[in-house]
Structure 1
Amino acid sequence: MLNSKFLYNNEGICAFGIMSILEIMGELSYSKVMLIAPLIFNSNVVKFLTTNSKIRSFEEFRIKQVSSVSKFNSMYYNFLPLTINTLVILRDMNFIDIEDNIIKLKRPLIPLVETKKIGKRANKIIKASPKFAVLLKENDEKLYLQLGVIL
């Protein structure tokens, strides 16, 4: 079996992550969507968010998950092409609209899939999506600064 992060972290899983958050928020800025893949593909973050942990702000999350956030800049750039590919696929399938730096939900994806068939990993990401949505309510610039993304 191939041991490749590019097969493990793919557009399908990324689509479930983006769509599960978009289905909660309705729309997101392009810059916030670029932060989703590095978060959902971090197993420590997903594990933390699927527990009974309370998250009231991004600052609180960052304090509780220092090690997960410490290498975020490199993860951001590693997952940038995957995120862009996923957005193109979702747009071409008419799940989203991309206009003026805003990605808007056009129609939901999550209710259309059988959760038993998408696997445990995708289901954990979907389960954590309400807490991911809380994290993404912060200002774009503040998120990028706190995550240490160097543009």
Structure 2
Amino acid sequence: MGLAIIHSRASVGIDAPQVTVEVHIGPGMPGFHLVGLAETSVKESKDRVRSAILNSKFLFPSRKITVNLAPADLPKDGGRFDLPIAIGILIASEQLPTDRINDTELLGELALSGELRAVNGVIAAAMASNKHQRVLISPEAMPMRLLW
């Protein structure tokens, strides 16, 4: 068990500032803790992420899971961080490899089934990702890659 750092993007007006999703899995009382001044809608992602991981036939770690959305002073709302949190958990629990995660940004809400759902602000996020020479993985970003 360990640490995973995933890149994502918030949506603030027409901007898409970077958010670092840090996932730590370690010893301690099993639980899922979300820090980084997240709004209520982001805190609800804990249930979506857990269900999506299990319904996608992965194991949900029965360890202490701490997720930090940084920087803490940036507004974070909606389900846009579900995908990066889920992938962070799978990497930190050694169920997915870490290959290419540093040059990738993830964005998207998860259904309880594990299906990926659209979020707002993807065009700004795709432009910002491209500027930093990273690939954006999001339901709406795939067709936009053809535009670059």
Assess same fold via TM > 0.5: no
Name the TM-score, length of structure 1 as normaliser. 0.27
Of Structure 1 and Structure 2, the greater strand share is in 2
Q: Which structure exhibits the higher relative contact order, with contacts defined as CA atoms closer than 8 Å and separated by 6 or more residues? A: 1
